[in-house]
Amino acid sequence: MKALLLAALLAASPAIAALTAPEAKMAAAVDASQQRDVALLEKLVNQNSGTRNLEGVKAVADMMRAELEPLGFTVRWVPMQQTGRAGHLIADHKGSGRGRKMLLIGHMDTVFEKDSPFQRFVRKGNVVEGPGVNDMKGGLVVMVSALRAMREAGTLGAADIRIVLTGDEESVGSPQTIARADLIEAGKWADAALEFESLSREDGRDIGSIARRGSITWVVTATGKTGHSSGVFGDEAGFGANYELVRIVDAFRRDLREPNLTYNLGLLLGGVTAEPTTPETIAGSASGKANIIAAKAIATGDIRALSNEQAERVEAKMRAIVAQHLPGTDARIEFKEGYPAMAPTAGSRALLGMLNGVNRDLGLPEMAELDPMKRGAGDIAFVAPYTSGLVGTGVSGAGSHAAGETAELDSFPRQAKRAAILMTRLSGMRAVPAAR
């Protein structure tokens, strides 16, 4: 209901022909802060904050607190030891109460743990390299730069904003009911959400994004009767675990295809013995011989769907396939906690339209809508049922999650100006009425 009301109100809002004086002041403030922004980026990147480096994540939170409190935010740290993760930073700015309530989403952790050889910030002209520089410490800098510009132009005071920076986006703590409770609560409060992860670009042009596919991990375990291979397929020995697993994964390949869906097969183990060696089933060992029927086989992969309904439908199909056992075998499938999907909505599409109004007034090209197949899972999907949102309000770059990850410095001021002006315009629009 809230998303539909937002879409209607945005569509009815008059277009702003050009930058207002405060908006022009914000743009100038962003340009003037570039050296400061790069210095903050270097400081954040050089602090390792791999998801399991709990002290490192907390250190990044302290750096962000130091940026946000002088801007008038009330900042609190929410520890998450019960989920095996460091915690989240939540910051609130109380405005006039008359405009749109905005949720700004980000994360402080990276995929690069303390033992990674990729640890330091390096500048190479317009390109900076370092762990998390694009995903998403660059986005944290854009967020701060935009808020600072709003403060200098006098537009931040009226804005009702809540910031949620998670400490475990790259590997969510368990159970998710605890790990994402604060974020979901913020989504129910907000009228609009901006996620400061990486900006999408295609053919040299910035692209808007209003959807993210979900991600769910599955594990299939097949079992059979072991024995001499001369008896395979017979009434006594049956087909063995490997054939049962192959039947299942090949049926997945053939029978699950539909638009906006992918389902990867990432790991296979099978033999007389087969055991995962990590709790996440990302590595394992198997043993067997050519003339012995396999007793156990394991496969794991993921599902990426555009809507939660699509994911549930595919899960049901997978369960049905697994249940059709070959003679002498058994199998089960387990679905682990994952990320929900963020499907495109009218409200989010209207927000992108409003962002394109900002682009026109800044003299920037209009941003087309990104194909959802090109965007992975993210935290904003947890709030998608409750509010409209934009994905990718952070920086552009390349190589996320890999050594040599980069960000393009010229995207920082462009994105900070867009965010500052969009947030200012949202804060000046009447609040979305509560649904009845």
Closest among 352, 350, 388, 344 to 368, alpha carbons compared: 352
Question: Are 299 and 276 contacting, i.e. CB atoms less than 8 angstroms apart?
Answer: no
Q: Please indicate, yes or no, if residue 137 is contained in any of the structural domains.
A: yes
Q: Please indicate, yes or no, if residue 67 is contained in any of the structural domains.
A: yes
pLDDT at 399 over 80: yes
Question: Does 285 share its domain with 372?
Answer: no
- Mean local confidence (pLDDT), 419-432: 88
CA 407 and chain centroid, separation: 18
Q: Please indicate, yes or no, if residue 186 is contained in any of the structural domains.
A: yes
Question: Does 157 share its domain with 305?
Answer: no
Question: Does 371 share its domain with 255?
Answer: no
Q: What is the pTM of this model?
A: 0.87
Rounded CA separation 215/375 (Å):
11
- Mean local confidence (pLDDT), 205-227: 96
pLDDT at 16 over 50: no
CATH number of the domain within which 323 lies: 3.30.70.360
Closest among 105, 231, 108 to 168, alpha carbons compared: 108
Question: Does 158 share its domain with 50?
Answer: yes
The pLDDT value recorded for residue 322 is: 98
Question: Are 405 and 133 contacting, i.e. CB atoms less than 8 angstroms apart?
Answer: yes
pLDDT at 48 over 90: yes
The pLDDT value recorded for residue 278 is: 75
The pLDDT value recorded for residue 5 is: 54
Q: Please indicate, yes or no, if residue 128 is contained in any of the structural domains.
A: yes
Q: Which of helix, strand or coil describes residue 429?
A: coil
Question: Are 206 and 200 contacting, i.e. CB atoms less than 8 angstroms apart?
Answer: yes
First to last CA, the chain: 9
Question: Does 198 share its domain with 75?
Answer: yes
pLDDT at 35 over 80: yes
Question: Which residues 6+ apart lie within 8 Å of 120 measured at CB?
Answer: 45, 46, 130
The pLDDT value recorded for residue 293 is: 98
Query: Mean pLDDT over all residues of the chain?
Result: 93
Please count the structural domains in the chain: 2
Q: Please indicate, yes or no, if residue 277 is contained in any of the structural domains.
A: yes
Question: Does 350 share its domain with 298?
Answer: no
Residue 183 binned pLDDT confidence (cut-offs 50, 70, 90): very high
Closest among 25, 18, 21 to 150, alpha carbons compared: 25
Q: Please indicate, yes or no, if residue 418 is contained in any of the structural domains.
A: yes
Rounded CA separation 309/261 (Å):
12
Question: Does 22 share its domain with 109?
Answer: yes
Question: Does 103 share its domain with 177?
Answer: yes
333: tokens are 């499938």
Rounded CA separation 49/44 (Å):
9
Question: Does 193 share its domain with 247?
Answer: no
Question: Does 253 share its domain with 281?
Answer: yes
CA 181 and chain centroid, separation: 16
Q: Please indicate, yes or no, if residue 435 is contained in any of the structural domains.
A: no
pLDDT at 6 over 80: no
Look at 98-112, 226-240, 270-284, 389-403 and tell me which has the smallest mean pLDDT. 270-284
Q: Show the domain range for 330.
A: 216-335
- Mean local confidence (pLDDT), 287-313: 95
151: tokens are 């403060």
Q: Please indicate, yes or no, if residue 433 is contained in any of the structural domains.
A: no
Residue 3 binned pLDDT confidence (cut-offs 50, 70, 90): low
The DSSP code for 260 is: T
Q: For the CA atoms of the chain, what is the radius of gyration?
A: 24
Task: State which of 335, 357, 392 marks the end of a domain.
Answer: 335
Question: Are 101 and 431 contacting, i.e. CB atoms less than 8 angstroms apart?
Answer: yes
**DSSP secondary structure letters along 294-342:** --EEEEEEEEE-SSHHHHHHHHHHHHHHHTSPPTTEEEEEEE---BPPB
pLDDT at 433 over 90: no
Task: State which of 291, 320, 335 marks the end of a domain.
Answer: 335
pLDDT at 266 over 80: yes
**Burial tier of 347 (Cβ tally within 10 Å: 0-12, 13-18, 19+):** buried
Instruction: Report pLDDT digits (tens) over 311-357.
Output: 999 999 999 999 999 999 999 999 998 889 999 999 999 999 999 99
Where do the DSSP E strands lie in 120-240? 122-124, 127-129, 160-166, 192-195, 200-202, 205-208, 216-224
- Mean local confidence (pLDDT), 172-184: 95
The pLDDT value recorded for residue 283 is: 82
CATH number of the domain within which 414 lies: 3.40.630.10
Task: State which of 293, 310, 335 marks the end of a domain.
Answer: 335
Question: Does 390 share its domain with 264?
Answer: no
Rounded CA separation 26/149 (Å):
5
Instruction: Report pLDDT digits (tens) over 129-170.
Output: 999 999 999 999 999 999 999 999 999 999 999 999 999 999
The pLDDT value recorded for residue 338 is: 86
Rounded CA separation 114/53 (Å):
7
Q: How far is CA 362 from CA 24, 50, 78, 212, 416, in A?
A: 9, 36, 38, 27, 12
Question: Are 293 and 287 contacting, i.e. CB atoms less than 8 angstroms apart?
Answer: no
368: tokens are 């087309």
- Backbone dihedral angles phi then psi of residue 52, each to the nearest 5 degrees: -90, 0
Q: How far is CA 161 from CA 68, 155, 193, 349, in A?
A: 12, 12, 10, 21
Question: Does 35 share its domain with 165?
Answer: yes
The pLDDT value recorded for residue 14 is: 44
**Burial tier of 126 (Cβ tally within 10 Å: 0-12, 13-18, 19+):** exposed
